[in-house]
Amino acid sequence: MHRGECRVGTGACFECGQQGHRAMNCPNRKVEGDKSGNLTDKKPKVNARVHTMTDVEAEVSGNVVTGTLLINSVPIYMLFDCGVSHFFVVKNFTKYLCISTEWTDHPYQVATLGNRILVSHTRYPNYNVKLEDRGLEVDLAQINMSDFDVILRMDWLARYFAQIDCKKKRVLFMKPNEKDFSYQGNVGDRKIHKLPLLSTMQTYRAIRKGCEAYLAYVIDTEKEKTPLEKIPVVKDFPNVFPEELPGLPPNRKIEFEINIIPETTPISKIPYRMAPAELKKLKEQLQELLDKKFIRSSVSPWSAPVLFIKKKDGSLRLCIDYRELNRITIKNKYPLPRIDDLFDQLKGAKVLSKIDLRSGCHQLKIKVEDIQKSVFRTRYGHYEFLVIPFGLTNAPATFMDLMNRYSNRN
């Protein structure tokens, strides 16, 4: 802000308003004598000059270009101004650049349009500006500005043979023996450098008026996860959090039954074809189930095929196609919980917790006479389950019955 007529971009002298010279060479410039009687300028001598303006003024100015660039992969709001004598970077913005500084004993004295003198002791030498996939070196001096992150000086533009197309808000780079390229700055009202910020009260008010709000956050995917054994609760109760189930579950009051429609003959389906990688994985998972004693070899006339389903993490889950067996199984009518009833029970709750059993279905045995019906066929042989496998129709109802009995008992 300044008084009187704004002469930025007109080419007129800031001292007298005439064309053909700058304020520092103005013949009407006031001078006064020093102690020795010699005439000297009233204004202090400076070794740098910046014609500061606001971002709004820059957008409508005819001799500057604004836009967004990258320095050290950080997006910055840049001003291209051929009337500036040095590179400048905002003091408050340098902490985001993660760049080293250099202290100078010969500070820059920077003069602004309002004759204000800014002193800069800090330099940032030889940093890379990403411009249209080109890396260009830049030296920065630190000053306080409010509307721009970085200002590019005229000698840098000259070094790279740059020309500013003021009408199209474009900077053309035509360095000899190199391919020409250009940078398109902000045109008109197209601003991409800053996001409007709302206060908490403004946000609440906007949401009450029906505006949509979205919550986004950044997570560090490289951050190491805390090992399970280092979590305090797990460390205090290691027997409750085993890496794997220790084998067959104990005998319980409930055993899983597979009651089929009377006079139904055994169903046997041929195995599905598998890729070599799936066959290798099948052999590994069969061995794991055998080691845990969850399955054993079988000669039952019943059999179901197996297949693999890819999980979210890319690993393969072994599944057994029990659809034919489920079709002839008498359904267990034990009531499963209704989702809406569960939500009603949570009304007014502020702290929620959950208990998730490891391989819950594998913690309940199959009734001895029904084990033969759980058989599945693979290329490596027939196997039958001694615990509830995933995929049987009555497994959720039986497991819910078991959980309710334990909950009521405790």
Q: Which residues pair with 59 in a beta bridge?
A: none
Q: What residue numbers bound the domain in which 321 lies?
A: 253-409
| CATH code (residue 385) | 3.10.10.10
Based on the fold, state whether residues 82 and 173 are members of the same structural domain.
Answer: yes
What's the structural domain count of the chain? 2
Q: And the tokens for 45?
A: 């001598």
Residue-level pLDDT, tens digit, the chain, 410 residues: 444 555 555 666 766 666 766 666 676 665 444 444 444 444 445 444 444 445 555 554 555 677 776 666 667 776 766 655 454 555 555 555 555 666 666 666 655 544 556 666 666 666 667 666 677 777 676 666 655 666 666 667 777 787 777 777 788 888 888 888 877 776 654 444 445 667 788 888 888 888 888 888 777 766 677 777 778 888 888 777 777 766 788 888 888 999 999 999 999 999 999 999 999 999 999 999 999 899 999 999 999 999 999 888 888 889 999 999 999 999 988 888 888 888 888 888 888 887 777 677 788 899 999 999 999 999 999 999 999 998 899 988 888 888 888 777 65
Which amino acid type is present at position 162? A
Nearest to 373 by CA among 268, 292, 286: 268
The position carrying tokens 């054993």 is 296
Q: Alpha-carbon distance 318 to 290, whole Å? A: 14
Say if residue 268 is in the same domain as residue 366.
Answer: yes
Domain annotation covers residue 197:
no
Same domain for 271 and 402, yes or no, is yes
| Same-domain check for residues 259 and 405 | yes
219 inside domain: no
Instruction: Say if 189 falls within a structural domain.
Output: no
Chain center to CA of 350: 29
- For residue 356, tell me if it sits in a domain: yes
Length of the chain: 410
Last residue of a domain, one of 164, 184, 204: 184
Tell me how far apart the alpha carbons of residues 133 and 173 are, in angstroms, rounded to a whole number.
13
Shared domain check, 293 and 149: no
Contact 108, 120 (CB under 8 A): yes
Cα-only R_g, the chain: 38
Shared domain check, 399 and 258: yes
Q: Which two tokens stand for residue 384?
A: 């039958």
